[in-house]
Structure 1
Amino acid sequence: MTTTSPAHRLAVGASFLLLASAAFHTVVLLLVGGPWDGPVSWRKPITFGLSFGVSVLTVTWICSLLPPAARTRALLLGAFTSAALLETSLITLQAWRGVPAHFNTETTFDTAVTRALAFGGVVLIAVVIALTIAALRPNPATAPSMRLALRAGLVALTLSMAAGAVMIAYGLTLESAGRAADAYQSAGFLRPAHAVTMHAVLLLPSLAWLLSRTRRPEAERLRLIRLTVAAYGAIAALVTAAATVGLTLAGPATTAAVSAAITIAPALAFFAFGGSPVTREPTRKPTRKPLKTGRTGYV
């Protein structure tokens, strides 16, 4: 998939639109005010715009590093972009209407929005799983350090999607039992884990890309990526365990917003400079000196 393909242009345009939406609604929050937490808040358009804007940029970049054919990559990128736009648009619509987006079945329209959000989530999960499977396939053209970073990042993103699915399923269970208030209050208990694991797919390959621009040999770069993956995994496991038992240093919504915000700069930088695959270093063949022989001086 080239950088001028329609899927690439659509994804890039959508990502900047999502980031612009997050910035706009941040201004709205500052001018209008209102709660940061809760089922009805300007926080939702902000965090969804940030997270999906960064995620679409990330998927746009890493698709060029994966082995599937260009048509398959374009299809996956298009599906991911469309689902991200659907999710953020519906969340934003409900925020402007002043009603909850998730677990809301008060009216026929609200029920349709809730079901559409669930459908978008299914599409996102399917695309992420497909990308993860692609990353786990052999790809000799990509450096081992980048392969590991991509695989670890996509596995983390899969876990993030799984956490989101668990929260949605739990909330829908409570809502169907007539406990909508409990769903709004407790269904987001895994949001810190969801946020922390979501953007590993940007940060880890970004580190591998940066290391590839240094004079470090590939063996050392691979060792550093392994250490980083282990450290990131330990942090994610700690955050997930703490969230499961209800222990958080900050609120789930704040954790999600901060996690998305700190990845904007790397996302923009690697969209601009990290589009080309990091390939395996070529093996240099020793140069043979010509052999002198006879009066001509050479063979």
Structure 2
Amino acid sequence: MTTAPTVRSRAVRRIPVGAALLLVASAAFHTLVLALDGGPWDDPVSWRKPITFGLSFGISVLTVTWVCRLLTLPARSRTLLLGAFTAASLLETGLITLQAWRGVPSHFNTETPFDTFVTRALAAGGVTLIAVVVALTVAALRPQPTAAPSMRLALRAGLVALTGSMAAGAVMIAYGLTLEGAGRVAEAYRSAGFLRPAHAVTMHAVLLLPSLAWLLSRTRRPEAERLRLLRVTVAVYGAGAALVTTAAAVGLTFATPATAAAVSAGVTTAPALVFWAFGARQAVREIRASTRPIDRVPTHGPHQAAPVGGPDDDRRLDA
């Protein structure tokens, strides 16, 4: 009775995971292209865009696949949301990569009918991503009886931050389209990405915070202590994200927006990977310990074990 739904659920997860690995592989390939071909890093036409979008969307699809399993969602809603997010991520990265190989800007480009179509399709993909993230955030804010309090806090804070990241992206797209509509295309290329550091630092909180909650769940810390640690982490992260957002809004960055965005994303995702590495090592140890053969002691027959510690010892050997 449960075999068919289980197989279907696994198939639903395999497609997004395969798509995410494809996006990450694309980012790795274009990193090699950048190393061999060279070219600018910050310009509207750059190999940076296939690299950063492929890596960021690949990580995001994997994260959303995991988050959808943690949230209490109807199976149909989970499939629909995960499918829409995966399709939109592939669309965004694919079109951006196509334009990079054509040697033309991907956003705010209306030079030809095809370029206009790409620009509008990217905007539509962004709207889809925002709708999915908002739906997941609303679901996370509802009661989650199967999740520990620390994981509930991590999921809610991470998805709220992701919603803020989508909002920053929407602001940049709207600002750039406004400039492009006014005929100020060069200015749109130059200044529309001013919130990229804020967009990057808030995008992967949904990976960072639940990863920390998962790692803490692998320890012997009581849940009350884990919850306190998550609250402190969320507060520190929120303060840092607010500082980065404010600095980006007023034009104060330590580097160009593209470089600052890449650094911000790395600062967010690197600790999450470390959390998973430590948690995975501990999980492997537990699996090995549970599968280690047990030395059995005979409890009957001529080789029955003698009582330990003399006749008054009340300890018993487990067979």
Q: 1:80 aligns with which of 76, 85, 93?
A: 85
- Whose RCO is larger (CA < 8 A, sep 6+)? 1
The within-5 A match list for 1:101-112 is 101-112=106-117
Return the letter of the residue paired with 2:128. Answer: V
Give the counterpart of 2:59 among 44, 54, 63: 54
Taking structure 1 as the reference length, the TM-score comes to 0.88
RMSD: 1.9
Which amino acid in structure 1 is aligned with residue 199 of structure 2? H
Q: Do 1:61 and 1:270's aligned partners in 2 also have CA atoms closer than 8 Å?
A: no
Does 1:24 pair with 2:3? no
The aligned runs of 1:280-291 (5 Å cut-off) are none
Letter in 1 for 2:188: A
How many residue pairs were aligned? 273
- Contact 1:145–1:208 (Cα < 8 Å) also in 2: yes
Residues 58 and 201, structure 1, Cα contact 8 Å, conserved in 2: yes
Residue in structure 2 matched with residue 147 of structure 1 by the alignment: 152
One-letter amino acid of the counterpart of residue 14, structure 1? A
Show the 5 A alignment for 1:1-299: 5-261=10-266, 263=269, 266=272
Query: What is the CA–CA distance in structure 2 between the aligned matches of 1:207 and 1:136, rounded to whole Å?
Result: 19
In 2 relative to 1, CA 236–2 (structure 1 residues): closer, same or farther, beyond 3 Å? farther
User: 1:145 is aligned with what amino acid?
Assistant: S
- Aligned-pair distance for 1:112? 0.2
Query: How far 1:71 sits from its partner (Å)?
Result: 1.7
Please say which of residues 261-270 and 202-211 is displaced more in the overlay. 261-270
- 1:241-273 CA distances to partner (integer Å, 9 max, x unpaired)? 000110012222112223444527846985996
Q: Distance between the aligned counterparts of 1:19 and 1:234, measured in 2?
A: 30
Q: Distance in 2 between matches of 1:216 and 1:76?
A: 34
Q: How far does residue 128 in structure 1 lie from its aligned partner after superposition?
A: 0.1
Q: Distance in 2 between matches of 1:198 and 1:57?
A: 13
Kindly state the Cα deviation for residue 140 of structure 1 after the two structures are TM-superposed.
Answer: 1.6
Unaligned runs of 5+ in 1: 274-299
Aligned-pair identity in percent equals 77
**Which stretches in structure 2 are left out of the alignment for 5+ residues?**
281-319
Question: Which secondary structure state, in structure 1, belongs to the residue aligned with residue 70 of structure 2?
Answer: coil
TM-score by length of 2: 0.82
Determine helix, strand or coil for the equivalent of 1:67. Answer: coil
Cα distance in structure 2, aligned partners of 1:140 and 1:257: 36
CA contact (8 A) 1:50 1:257 kept: no
